[in-house]
Amino acid sequence: MSTAERSWPLWEVFTQGKDGEPHQHAGSVHATDAEHALQNARDVYARRNEAVHLWVVPSAAITASTPEDMGPFFDPANDKAYRHPQFYKVPKGVKVF
Amino acid sequence: MRASHPALAPALLRIADDRLILGHRTSEWCGHAPILEEDIALANIALDLIGQATLVLQHAGAVERAGRNEDALAFFRDATDFRNALLCELPRGDFGVTIVRHFFHGLYSVLQWDALARSTDQTLAGIAAKALKESRYHVRHAGEWVIRLGDGTEESHRRAQEAVDALWPYTGELFMQPADEADLVAAGTTADVSLLAGPWRAQVDDVLRRATLRAPSDPWMQRGGRDGRHTEHLGHLLAEMQIVARSHPGAQW
């Protein structure tokens, strides 16, 4: 059996540090199924109070942009300064936004 | 401080030694588990168990008032002074044996800590409340594995069933209530472990059924650990666990 056949599927792990915070990508684990992935994620990424909540997602379910996409996908946003919020002056008197 | 009941320190040793010996056994997997994630999981569980043992041994040392701290109790007692159930000292075996043993002992631990969390001994109740959360996780980890191994491949099923058959005769001792703890149970200090057998069996049967495994019907059970009569395996384990502390008495690390 090849290594690929022997190894378990890969899962991406997202941890939430506190209630209300966004889930952030922490890393990945190998596991046979979702419940197993949750356990492994807990042991590898959340055993020292790093998280109050966990998501695991099959890595195969993620559709990602490719490195070649870098130019066409992301460049156009950068040469139009008015697309960035920093372009706009914050009116006087606004403290929280 | 009022002198404690003379049976309290021995009763605490029974609780602590289970976790110390099983924790040490589990630590033997460090670097040897089937996959990285499981290596970390087993090392965590070993640390949890040794941490639980440390707290209870500290308490036992204080209750005993013989000047022994947790290190003295862990590293300078001989096999006949240990009070762990025989189940905890058996060799680690293959992954199936390790998982089935964790499942059997973990379920017992959850039930025992749950009862001890209501102990009239405030120190013990505090330790139990903390340990209960850890043990609940241990059972979840082991239980999920029992189901996957039992209901997995032909080989994993065979090995899991062999582990159940081999370990089963060692489960009865967990629920044999030591006679010298009668006063402590009456005072609400320790839990009557014989009352835990029913709930334990119900939960074991549920998981074994989902794992397509079966419990042996032979009711004969091994015993002796709670009275200091151990298998040959404990001495070898202790030799390894105690060698550093005994070679360098008083060393700090």
Contacts of B41 (CB under 8 A, 6+ apart): A39, A40, A43, B33, B141
Angle at which helices B95-116 and B8-27 cross, to 10°:
150
The yes-or-no verdict on residue B146 having pLDDT over 50 is yes
CA torsion sign, B101 to B102 to B106 to B109?
A: positive
| B224 domain residue, yes or no | no
Instruction: Residues A3-62+70-87: name the CATH superfamily.
Output: Phenylacetic acid degradation B (3.10.20.520)
Structural domain of residue B130, as residue ranges? 8-215+230-247
Residue B40: its chain A contacts at CB < 8 A? Answer: 43-44, 47
* Spatial separation of the C-alpha atoms in residues B151 and B87, rounded to whole Å: 24
* Spatial separation of the C-alpha atoms in residues A68 and A59, rounded to whole Å: 20
> Which one of B26, B37, B39 makes the best mutation probe of the A interface by having the most chain A beta carbons within 10 Å?
B37
The yes-or-no verdict on residue B47 having pLDDT over 80 is yes
| B3 domain residue, yes or no | no
| B1 domain residue, yes or no | no
> What pLDDT does residue A1 have?
44
Rounded to an integer, the average pLDDT of B88-111 is 98
Q: Which of A48-52, A89-93, B228-232 has the highest mean pLDDT?
A: B228-232
Q: How many CB atoms lie within 10 A of CB B158?
A: 13
Residue A29 near residue A12, CB atoms below 8 Å: no
* Spatial separation of the C-alpha atoms in residues B42 and B48, rounded to whole Å: 10
* Spatial separation of the C-alpha atoms in residues A31 and A39, rounded to whole Å: 9
Rounded to an integer, the average pLDDT of A59-82 is 79
Is the CB of A31 less than 8 angstroms away from the CB of B41? no
Rounded to an integer, the average pLDDT of A5-22 is 90
* Spatial separation of the C-alpha atoms in residues B201 and B181, rounded to whole Å: 23
| B96 domain residue, yes or no | yes
| B63 domain residue, yes or no | yes
Contacts of B229 (CB under 8 A, 6+ apart): B80
> Which one of A13, A33, A40, A50 makes the best mutation probe of the B interface by having the most chain B beta carbons within 10 Å?
A40
| B253 domain residue, yes or no | no
* Spatial separation of the C-alpha atoms in residues A49 and A17, rounded to whole Å: 8
Q: Which of B37, B137, B144 sits opposite A29 (nearest CB)?
A: B37
> What pLDDT does residue B32 have?
93
- The structural domain count of chain B equals 1
The yes-or-no verdict on residue B141 having pLDDT over 60 is yes
- Classify the complex by whether its ipTM is higher than 0.85, answering yes or no: no
Is the CB of A36 less than 8 angstroms away from the CB of B38? no
| B222 domain residue, yes or no | no
The yes-or-no verdict on residue B1 having pLDDT over 60 is no
* Spatial separation of the C-alpha atoms in residues A54 and A23, rounded to whole Å: 8
| B162 domain residue, yes or no | yes
